[in-house]
Structure 1
Amino acid sequence: MAGCRVWKMWIERMVRWSVVFLAWILSFYSLIQHTAPEWSVFHLLALTALLWVTELFPFPEHGGRVTVHFPFLFALGSLYSPGVAGIVYGLTVLFVGWMTKKSLSNSAFRSGYTILGLMAAEAYISFMRQPLLEAGDIWKLLLVLAVYVLVFELVSKIIRDGTECLRLRPRYSRLWVNNWLWETGIALLSLLYCAAFFGMLWQERDTDTLAFIFFFTPLVAFAVLSNVIARLMRKRRKLELLFLLSTNINKTLNLREVMEQTILPLSKVIDYSYGIFYLLKNERLYPSVTSGDVPHHLKKQSHTLNRGLNGWVASHGQPAMVDDVKLDPRCHEDLEDAEEVRSMLCVPLEMDGEVLGVITLGKADRRGFEEADLTFLQVLASQTVIALHNARLMNERERRVVAEERNRLAREIHDGIAQSFAGVLMKVESSLKVFDSQPEQVRSWLEQSEKKLREGLKEVRHSITALRPSPAAKIGLIPALRRRVEAFQNETDVDAFFEQEGENYPLSTEAEETVYMVCHEALSNAAKHAKASEVKVTLRYEPEELKLVVEDNGVGFSLAQAVYKAEAQKRYGIVGMNERAQNLNAALQFDSEEGQGARVILTIPMKEEAIQASSGQRGKNSTV
């Protein structure tokens, strides 16, 4: 596999440089074959300067390297020779690439396939030159000129896209088929300008140097203006994206969603080949979310803190932008991982001196990132860190809640069900020993065991009910309370009633859960201890508070004795009810005396934060 990768890389590089050498050989050959031009060197310098400005301000496609250079190549080829046009264009592209610190090989290859397309178009026009002179029809001339532009576009794009497909990981987004609308528009613009230039020469109008400059100035101005507008729009998209991301990120507490919402939309404002979101765990960086053209082995490969640019950034807590990974010693391991990467951008996710992870962007071009990209990524990372911290706190809180719930269940099982079953087991063992000699005693023990088992079964059902999602969350608070009252009546044969007072309004999920669980626990206590003949549950909606009242006509109880007995027997029903009420800043009142029944009153103040303005909930409750 490694040998195949090496061979494919070698073939792709050989093809690229073969295109470059062939283009330059044809350019010099054409220069030698043509006689001295009739046009002055000032025209040549003017066209070269205009071409240079156009190349310096590219369109925002293909990484910002598409320009309207063809009208200048057509003018240079028509006035001088294809060889002059090819050499001038090649030197201009290399000079602009050197100025902007772009990759020399990429600049040379771009000039190479463009020159070959120009040579193919000139070969076609040379073949059609005699028929053109004989025809003298302007429409036929325009048709030939259109084919000339078409030949140039086809040959140059076929060479470019064909070589791109030879790469280890082709960048299909740069192929003509994915950008046909944009590139077709540029081709039509070039055709119109070439036709206008051809018409100017055909009618033998004033063609001094200033006339050339004024003729091509609108095209250059269009290129410069498009580049400036594209940059401004890119900055605007960065601000919009930063606002949207900071808003959406802070809305979610899911760790993976935070990472995806951070790195995936970055391609809209930062041009990169691949992006990786690393999280730091146990002194190692683990790739959690990837984007773009990421090598397959990098999606699962973790790094130590002293390996590659990622490890350096994570260990030092400092951002890094590398223009050429071959020249930076921190990136030697990165070259082994991704052979085609040439520039990297890496920022730490740091909070209170602790590095949580790293965001890494890689690009196949040298000097692929700008200082503005680094600044934007740092700002985005600062927002992401807060969301990551919140998500981690929420995950930790959920784990703690789960642990506490497990401990509570363990206590309930040990102190309640397990003790009951242990007592039943002792009576059964004793019954087996005296089964023949003391049948009446055995009968008494079995009856006691039956009673204990029934109580244990109720405890099990109560625990299962506590584990399940609250019925209030499933069907709504009022239907859930009605069902609970009906179930209580069926289980105990006690007359039970539910009554709603006032117009219901939406409640928060936590408030509905608290009301239901307090009612559930109050009814369970009434079934166990009240010995009542009638129980009434009232849910009263008032403008400033919500009241739940559960009352019975049973034997009543002393609250102090009930709490003492519950703590002694390690039962936490009343304590749990009170804790739920305190979480809502609600009041829980027990009104009872021995022999006079009991009332459990839950009062929840209706503050704004406790009410959810949800018409869906209102509709759901009002249908009961």
Structure 2
Amino acid sequence: MQGVDFLKRREKYSKIFLTAVSILGLGIFIFTLRDLTIPQEPVILALLVAFLFISEYFPMPVWKGFTSISFPILYVIYLLYGFPYSLLIFSLVVFIVNFFQRRPIRIVFFNPAQLLLSFFLAEKVFAEFADRIESVAGSDFYFGLTEYVVLLFLYILFNNLIVDFVLVVRPQPYPFKVWKQKMITECLSGCISLIYGFLLYFIGTKNRGEIDVFSYFFFFSPLVGLALLSSVIVRLRKEKKRLKALFTITNELNQMLPSKDWLLKLQESFRDFMNVEALVLCIKEGKEWRTAILDGMANADNVLISDISSELEVIKSPIIYKNRKNTFGMADGFFENDIKSIVYSPLVIDNETVGMFIIGKSRTKSFEDDDIQSIATLSNQLAVILKTKMLFAEKEKRNVLEERNRIARDIHDGLAQTLAGAVMKLDTAGKKVHKDPRETVKLIDDSVWRLRQSLKEVRESIYALRPYPTERIGLISAITNKIKSIIQEHGQCVHFEIRGSETMLSPMTEKVLFDTFKESMQNAIKHSGADRIDVLLSYQTEHILLKVKDNGKGFSLYQAMLKARSQPHFGILQMNDAADKVNASLQIESQEGEGTEITITVPKMGFEGGSEFDQANAGG
């Protein structure tokens, strides 16, 4: 609790300092209005203002950051039109730029105020030593050059002191690494401004005729053009990176059902896709909602997802809240106070909302149309994936229920009928025990035989209901153990190869793969006469493949299909039916005298995941 109070106090102090700087800057701005006069050469002034605006609106990329190379232009305005004009124009330009860039209102006022204050302090400090510097310099050239260098140094110094104080006081951490990066960026910016200052005075000493508007245009156009061009290039690269991240996300989601850590991968990709401060992903599982992702300045401490689930389900198109002060929607409690604007982007398919993206930014009105379209595109892709995942889960549940019903039918049609017959014969034997002892013995013997058969069926049913080997030890271990027992019992040479990284499979998929492996091995041993069997289990990007190949005598596939229809058993038809349960494809290649190769391929959509219900019941 004390830590929370301390952070709140720091937040309060930082806001007080921001307000104080803004008020002080506004006071200086108003005070300098009285010293304004009608400017000479208004066309040159308009050109310099335009260049100043472009350099501020399109900051130049420097090392790992961006900086505005505007001091040379500001200094020329200062030389030509005086200190009041330079202050007023500079602060107005920065204010307009921040306003157009949709910065928070306190930043819109603070940024021009702190820059104005920095230049004001730099000029006042230099004025205190101007006479001394002029006497030492000895000429206008060296005095002007010294003035430029000192003003630039003091301006950067005061500007960084003000910004550093804000960053230190605010509750968010301000590590040394960030400070170092900022200082390197500022120093590089200062070096570029210093070079332009030397050029300014070097060219100014040459007698090249009248200095008109074209002279200023050609002198500053390389600086402004470089800033404009480099800024556009960086923005294009940023957009390219964002589109590449979107393509990567959608491509992965289109190709395969996500793995068990797909939400974590999505969270990492989304950071590259869009610069957001907070992200919440809620998904619907059955009739219940849960929060799948909480990233950045988001938490679930103040929200119960069940309380807002009904409101989430009715949203069918993106909703934008531009300013938290007005309204923030039902998920306000998810976000910290610094988040000022959010977007609700529903995951809708077949007019059903299966999830909700809630994205937050720290600036008001910071979501543009392109951002909304990109978020909506990603939401549509995720809706398809979530719906597909639910359909596969339902399909596996149906398979489990079908297996249960089959066991129930077998018990009813076989075991129950046998027990009923044995009971009836024992009743009859009891009635005939005195009248016809021989018939009684015969009935008892028959009933005992039936009861033993029933006991055998009960044991088989119990064994069938036990957890499958793949559930107990996993697919790879189950195959390995089976191969060891085959080698010990039959002596065949069996080679088992695993390719790729093991992937989590659903219980039904592991069961189908293992059953196919067992049947293939049994056919190779009992019918093919093979002395070498090669088994391949390959975990690939888009599917998993199991191949069993032997060097036996082979067989006619057509004749085997006809035999399977007349004599049902777990053979070709049963393997194919089992493969259909997980959307797999089964291929059997064999010719008489050339061995047999059986391959089952499961697409990634068919084998990932599996709910707790599936894992508990797929073994049946």
TM-score (norm 2): 0.67
Higher RCO (CA-CA < 8 Å; seq separation 6+): 2
For residues 130 and 85 of structure 1, what CA distance do their matches in structure 2 show?
22
CA shift at 1:241, angstroms?
A: 1.6
Determine what percentage of the aligned residue pairs are the same residue: 19
**Aligned residue for 2:18?**
16
1:432-483: CA deviation from partner (whole Å, max 9, x where unpaired): xxxxxxxxxxxxxxxxx99999999999888768323699953797x76652
For residues 43 and 144 of structure 1, what CA distance do their matches in structure 2 show?
22
Contact persistence 1:164–1:171 (CA under 8 A) = yes
Q: 1:162 to 1:190 in 2, by over 3 A?
A: same
Instruction: Give the 5 Å matches for 1:90-101.
Output: 90-99=91-100, 101=102
For residues 365 and 342 of structure 1, what CA distance do their matches in structure 2 show?
5
CA shift at 1:50, angstroms?
A: 1.9
In the alignment, which of 197, 211, 215 is matched to residue 211 of structure 1? 215
Contact persistence 2:297–2:339 (CA under 8 A) = no
Q: Secondary structure at the match of 1:326?
A: coil
For residues 84 and 516 of structure 2, what CA distance do their matches in structure 1 show?
87
1:93-118: CA deviation from partner (whole Å, max 9, x where unpaired): 22334445544322111112212222
Amino acid at match of 2:379: A
Aligned residue pairs, count: 531
Contact persistence 2:279–2:296 (CA under 8 A) = yes
Q: 1:505 to 1:224 in 2, by over 3 A?
A: closer
For residues 50 and 499 of structure 2, what CA distance do their matches in structure 1 show?
71
Q: 1:331 to 1:296 in 2, by over 3 A?
A: closer
Contact persistence 2:483–2:494 (CA under 8 A) = no
Contact persistence 1:285–1:303 (CA under 8 A) = no
In the alignment, which of 351, 366, 369 is matched to residue 368 of structure 1? 366
Q: Alignment RMSD, CA only?
A: 5.6
TM-score (norm 1): 0.66
Between 1:52-61 and 1:361-370, the stretch displaced more is 52-61
**Aligned residue for 2:574?**
579
Q: Secondary structure at the match of 2:366?
A: coil
**Aligned residue for 2:391?**
393
Instruction: Give the 5 Å matches for 1:433-452.
Output: none
Q: Secondary structure at the match of 1:76?
A: helix
For residues 157 and 112 of structure 2, what CA distance do their matches in structure 1 show?
15
For residues 460 and 318 of structure 1, what CA distance do their matches in structure 2 show?
52
1:466-512: CA deviation from partner (whole Å, max 9, x where unpaired): 323699953797x766522345x4xxxxxx443679x9999999996
Contact persistence 1:157–1:176 (CA under 8 A) = no
2:187 is equivalent to residue 189 of structure 1: no
In the alignment, which of 467, 473, 476 is matched to residue 474 of structure 1? 476
Q: Secondary structure at the match of 1:297?
A: coil
Structure 1: runs of 5+ lacking an equivalent: 419-448, 490-495, 524-533, 551-558, 564-572, 589-601, 613-624
For residues 411 and 180 of structure 1, what CA distance do their matches in structure 2 show?
79
CA shift at 1:353, angstroms?
A: 0.7
For residues 466 and 166 of structure 1, what CA distance do their matches in structure 2 show?
62
Amino acid at match of 2:575: R
Q: Secondary structure at the match of 2:68?
A: coil
For residues 201 and 452 of structure 2, what CA distance do their matches in structure 1 show?
108
**Aligned residue for 2:57?**
56
CA shift at 1:71, angstroms?
A: 2.3
1:141-194: CA deviation from partner (whole Å, max 9, x where unpaired): 867755543432232233224324444556989954455554443333222223
CA shift at 1:48, angstroms?
A: 1.8
For residues 294 and 154 of structure 1, what CA distance do their matches in structure 2 show?
36
Q: Secondary structure at the match of 1:358?
A: strand
Between 1:276-285 and 1:235-244, the stretch displaced more is 276-285
For residues 472 and 259 of structure 1, what CA distance do their matches in structure 2 show?
24
Q: Secondary structure at the match of 1:294?
A: coil
Structure 2: runs of 5+ lacking an equivalent: 417-450, 501-508, 535-546, 555-562, 580-584, 589-594, 605-620
Instruction: Give the 5 Å matches for 1:254-265.
Output: 254=258, 257-265=261-269
2:489 is equivalent to residue 498 of structure 1: no
For residues 48 and 104 of structure 2, what CA distance do their matches in structure 1 show?
25
Amino acid at match of 1:195: F
For residues 513 and 553 of structure 2, what CA distance do their matches in structure 1 show?
14
**Aligned residue for 2:486?**
485
Q: Secondary structure at the match of 2:21?
A: helix
For residues 242 and 468 of structure 1, what CA distance do their matches in structure 2 show?
37
Q: Secondary structure at the match of 2:357?
A: strand
2:272 is equivalent to residue 268 of structure 1: yes
Q: 1:466 to 1:337 in 2, by over 3 A?
A: closer
**Aligned residue for 2:616?**
none
Q: 1:95 to 1:38 in 2, by over 3 A?
A: closer
